[in-house]
Chains A and B, each alone.
Chain A
Amino acid sequence: GAVVSQHPSWVICKSGTSVKIECRSLDFQATTMFWYRQFPKQSLMLMATSNEGSKATYEQGVEKDKFLINHASLTLSTLTVTSAHPEDSSFYICSARGGSESQPQHFGDGTRLSIL
């Protein structure tokens, strides 16, 4: 159980393109979803936390107009990187948590984003 699906797994696109990444909880209802970014050989960096039906809470330094997050249902959250530039190239990972705060986060497989 506790499967999280993330698509696409790999994106290569031109600078200025907007890219949408989907995160779905397949077998549980995710009351909270998280979006992380990870640069090579570095730790996970939390970008934002979203609860179903409400606006995402962004971490300090993360541009909310650049990284649009939608959590429209208990099983789906999307991250849209708008007008992506080469510095946005990174490994983006979503996670989902159901139930109480003591439940672990379950991660999607991640999306490797390369902006040319």
Chain B
Amino acid sequence: GQNIDQPTEMTATEGAIVQINCTYQTSGFNGLFWYQQHAGEAPTFLSYNVLDGLEEKGRFSSFLSRSKGYSYLLLKELQMKDSASYLCAVKDSNYQLIWGAGTKLIIKP
């Protein structure tokens, strides 16, 4: 079966750094996406990784290791507005997007 694992909930302090991990087992791989979803709102696209390595975009970075079936989203200089759920999603060999259940990130002052 296809599976994406990410922690259910994480807590971090404003101004700090947090890393949200995602591991996946899918039938094939055609890219990994990270989305941010605030409560009651639709997801917004954050990043896309298809090759191994780190993609940096401002305060957010995303890393991929295809051999390990592993990715992480790194958030720096945390702000209160970063409190949200972070969704990891993988495209399998049929280009179907498999969604993780999301990690709820709580930022404390």
Interface residues of A (CB under 8 A from B): 2, 6, 42-44, 46, 91, 93, 95, 101-102, 104-110, 112
- Find chain A residues with CB under 8 A from B42 CB: 6, 93, 95, 107-110
Q: How large is the interface on B (under 10, 10 to 19, 20 to 34, 35 or more residues)?
A: 20 to 34
**Which residues from A are CB-within-8-Å of B33?**
104-105
B101 proximity list for chain A (CB < 8 A): 42-43
Chain B residues closer than 8 Å to A43, beta-carbon distance: 87, 99-102
Distance A109 CA – B40 CA, assembled complex (angstroms):
9
Stretch at the interface among B19-27, B43-51, B60-68, B75-83: B43-51
**A interface footprint on B72-99 (CB within 8 Å = 1, 0 otherwise):** 0000000000000001000100010101
List chain B positions with a Cβ less than 8 A from chain A.
30-31, 33, 35, 40-45, 48, 50, 87, 91, 95, 97, 99-102
Cα-based distance from A6 to B42 in the complex (angstroms): 10
Contact B95 A101 (CB under 8 A): yes
Please name the 8 residue pairs, one residue from A and one from B, whose CB atoms are nearest each other, closest first: A107-B42, A101-B95, A43-B101, A110-B42, A104-B45, A93-B42, A107-B43, A44-B99
Say how far B41's CB is from chain A's closest CB, in angstroms: 7
Chain A residues with CB under 8 A of B31:
102
B41 touches A110 (CB 8 A): yes
